[in-house]
A and B are shown apart, each in its own frame.
Chain A
């Protein structure tokens, strides 16, 4: 129950920051669009069943879409990364970390290297799919490529900042918990 409340709280915070801070920053350049809200999906617990993960991804994307009036756009990208997430974790991280030691992905538990690779892959997938869907309607191929690169770089910078600023208190998983 504690976990559920914590994640609902996180979702609300991430959505509010995305909608009212990051989406409102003054226009610097057309390639600079900061996305951070999907970090919520990256932070979900290891133990979450795959189907629940997909559902949470769907809800996250849809809530943002209702604010930005693009029903389906962010939902698609979020469901994609929610689907891919378990595979990436299986490949990148030692089984003992995910199953025994820590509760959720974090640079402290996983080490900075694996965590950043994990974040980079999911960020890249999320942005590629999101920008692909927008690009299908409008724009040139070069724009598409540059925009993926630029938005991924900015998101990684934001994720790094967030991880450095708010180091989450890690619960060491025990048998009793």
Chain B
């Protein structure tokens, strides 16, 4: 995800204005919350269920003599090699009726939120990424934005494509760039790709709802029913890729190196 979309965000006083609109949004959201409690509760419960299933207590080792051991120097893997860090946040403003939709979160630069962090719904569905931050609030570029491009994979075959939105229906997204020789049927799961810099891999984007072919390119144009109900997003996780700068730096360095070699 190397797409830059900041042209609209350089407006004068936008930071101050965001603080102001954010404080009003927070008040209105307190009321709005009550209308989504049931749905939110269900999502959290489902998420808990999926985490419960991962507990060690659910698995028994068949052969007690067999033990796993690591044949290398032990490194604290939780700290030094941590790649993703998640923070919780609350959506205070949200829209789905425009062609370019944004959300506003109640966490900002003061809470460690930075641009390009991924935003994931409370049940693990992808919502968008952070496009702009003010001290106490941050703006999210929703998947429902004509400029949104998310690298995605089909879970079954692990083929990658790109998710975008055609601004027609907030329940459906478009998956592009999957060639016609790949087997796709209705109901296949679409996840975030492991090649994305902004998004952690393996989070659900949606399920295939319709299989069309683009005659001009010979690629599929797959209709994806999004996993997130965008009009009722309430509690979200903001996930930071701690190695993002390093990855980008590496990519830039590689390009520079290739340039140098061309010259020689």
Q: In the complex the two chains form, is B14's CB within 8 Å of A134's CB?
A: no
Partner of B21, one of A26, A32, A67: A67
Question: Contacts of A72 on B, CB cut-off 8 Å?
Answer: 8, 11
The residue on B at minimum CB distance from A143 is B167
A135 to chain B, nearest CB (A): 9
- CB atoms of B146 and A138 under 8 A apart: yes
CA distance A68 to B25 in the complex (A): 11
For A27, list chain B residues within 8 Å (CB).
Answer: 96-97, 169-170, 231
Q: Are B28 and A139 in contact (CB under 8 A)?
A: no
- Cα(A45)–Cα(B45), bound, Å: 55
Report the number of A-B residue pairs with Cβ-Cβ less than 8 Å: 52
Given the known interface contacts A23-B97, A138-B146, the answer about A71 and B8 at a Cβ–Cβ threshold of 8 Å is: yes
Q: Shortest Cβ distance from A27 into chain B, in angstroms?
A: 5
**A61 to chain B: closest CB distance in Å?**
12
Q: State A85–B168 Cα separation when bound (angstroms).
A: 33
Residues B99 and A25 in contact, CB atoms below 8 Å apart = no
Q: Does A70 contact B (CB under 8 A)?
A: yes
- 28 CB contacts below 8 A, A to B, read A20-B28, A23-B95, A23-B97, A23-B98, A24-B32, A26-B231, A27-B96, A27-B97, A30-B168, A30-B169, A32-B97, A33-B97, A33-B98, A65-B11, A66-B17, A66-B18, A66-B21, A67-B93, A68-B98, A69-B9, A70-B8, A70-B98, A71-B9, A71-B14, A72-B8, A72-B11, A134-B100, A139-B167
List 16 additional contacts besides A66-B21, A134-B100; criterion CB under 8 Å: A23-B95, A23-B98, A27-B231, A30-B167, A30-B168, A32-B97, A33-B97, A66-B14, A66-B17, A67-B21, A68-B95, A70-B98, A71-B11, A72-B8, A134-B99, A138-B99
Q: Could you tell me if B95 and A66 are in contact, using CB atoms closer than 8 angstroms?
A: no
**DSSP majority for the A interface?**
loop
Q: Which A residue's beta carbon lies closest to that of B144?
A: A27
Is A90 among interface residues, defined by CB-CB distance under 8 A? no
Asked whether A137 is an interface residue with its Cβ less than 8 Å from the other chain, the reply is yes
Any A CB within 8 A of the CB of B20: yes
Question: 10 tightest CB-CB pairs across the interface, nearest first?
Answer: A71-B11, A66-B17, A138-B146, A69-B102, A27-B170, A27-B96, A67-B21, A20-B28, A30-B168, A23-B95
* Residues of chain B at the chain A interface (Cβ within 8 Å): 8-9, 11, 14, 17-18, 20-21, 28, 32, 93, 95-100, 102, 104, 139, 146, 167-170, 231
Chain A contacts of B231 at CB under 8 A? 26-27
Q: B5 to chain A: closest CB distance in Å?
A: 11
* Given A24-B95, A26-B231, A138-B146, A70 and B168 contact (CB-CB distance below 8 Å): no
B20 x A66 contact (CB < 8 A)? yes
Q: Which one of A32, A65, A137 lies within 8 Å of B146 (CB-CB)?
A: A137
Q: How far is the CA of A21 from the CA of B14 in the complex (A)?
A: 23
- On chain A, the residues within 8 Å of B99 by CB distance are 134, 138-139
| Chain A min CB distance to B108 (Å) | 15
Query: Taking the nearest CB of chain B, how far is it from the CB of A125, in angstroms?
Result: 20
